[in-house]
């Protein structure tokens, strides 16, 4: 098993604007996701309850 298949990008505490859990800082989030993918990782840990149900939408908007 490779290291890249064992680590996940947790979507529970994403960067937000003005403390609003559903108003994502997409500029910062895009940088984080791009860096993660460029390092060869591919697993994203999402859940409906993260960010009031919006973490999965944040991934779709990447």
pLDDT the model gives residue 5:
64
pLDDT the model gives residue 2:
58
3-state secondary structure of 52: helix
Stretch 39-48: mean pLDDT, rounded?
89
Summarize pLDDT for 4-35 with one digit per residue, the tens: 667 899 999 999 999 999 999 999 999 999 99
Instruction: Write the CA distances from 20 to 15, 25, 33, 38, 52, integer angstroms.
Output: 10, 10, 20, 28, 10
- 32 touches 1 (CB < 8 A): no
Summarize pLDDT for 45-60 with one digit per residue, the tens: 988 899 998 998 887 7
């Amino acid at each position: 098993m490779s290291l890249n298949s064992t680590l996940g990008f947790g979507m529970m505490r994403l960067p937000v604007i003005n403390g609003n859990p559903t108003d994502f800082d997409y500029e910062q989030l895009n940088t984080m996701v791009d860096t993660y993918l460029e390092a060869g990782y591919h697993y994203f840990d999402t859940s409906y309850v993260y960010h009031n149900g919006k973490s999965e939408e944040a991934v779709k908007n990447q």
